[in-house]
Amino acid sequence: MYKQGLYPIIRKTASAKGIFDLTVLCPEAAELAEAGQFAQLLAPGFFLRRPISICQIDKAAGTIRMVFEVRGKGTEELSHLNVGDNIDLIAPLGHGFTKVDGKAVCVGGGIGVPPMLGIASEYGSDAAVITGFRNAAAVILQEDLKAAGCETVLCTDDGSAGIHGFVTTALEQHLQSKKTDIIYACGPTPMLKAVAALAKQYGVRCEVSLEQRMACGVGACLGCACRTQQEGKEVYKHVCKDGPVFNAEEVIFDG
């Protein structure tokens, strides 16, 4: 179940260089949304919509918050929209994260961090959120994660903020020292592959959020294929409908 319509942007901030934070008032979509789902946004002047993960859902206020990076001309066009402008949005789409009882670790790399806020908030102090960025200037959402009561572990590639190193090192230390019932991850494919390997090694359930070039966003066109395995057989599933969240064990990360 999803909605399509023109909805007003009620808040916009620049979170970091090239990263924008939009809150859209769309009560009927917010009512249906779950952590880990995404929206398809129409960038003025472009033919296909841009799939953007939902960062935060406020059902009481009827809002959906999305944090996205300018990657090309379409997302650049989206970044020019301002408070008061309407945005053409289809949401919520896809299959979100599975909430379990117990302790969670959320691992986000770069622009893979925004979808972590929603699920981490559901766990509050039962979630540790390990985030990785290129450098201090690229860091986003740390205050939001702390405000949600989560433990935060910040890593940067160059050591200019937090721990100097990769999220996977921090994840392994966490898994060695603390009981973990589920891992959620979103970020670059090499990171997801490494997180999935650690999850398997430590016997912890793991869900990853994937992205792929997309057209319809609803499961009709079969464009956003991703390689998965089921009972030893390779199957192309679709990021928009079967995902974007998948059980890490079924995803084939190579290729």
Residue numbers at the binding site for another protein (CB under 8 A): 1-2, 4, 42, 46-49, 74, 90, 212-227, 234-236, 241, 255
The answer to whether 17 and 206 have CB atoms below 8 angstroms apart is no
Q: CA-to-CA distance for 108 and 204, rounded, in angstroms?
A: 17
Q: What is the nearest approach in angstroms of another protein to the Cβ of residue 13?
A: 27
Q: What is the nearest approach in angstroms of another protein to the Cβ of residue 174?
A: 32
The answer to whether 183 and 171 have CB atoms below 8 angstroms apart is yes
Task: Closer to another protein by CB, 25 or 235: give it.
Answer: 235
Q: What is the nearest approach in angstroms of another protein to the Cβ of residue 224?
A: 7
Task: Closer to another protein by CB, 98 or 212: give it.
Answer: 212
Task: Closer to another protein by CB, 191 or 216: give it.
Answer: 216
167, containing H or E segment: helix 167-177
CB neighbour list of residue 73: distance below 8 Å, 6 or more residues apart: 46
Q: Which of 85, 97, 110, 81 is nearest to 38 (CA)?
A: 97
Q: Report which residue type is found at 123.
A: Y
Q: What is the nearest approach in angstroms of another protein to the Cβ of residue 76?
A: 14
Task: Closer to another protein by CB, 41 or 107: give it.
Answer: 41
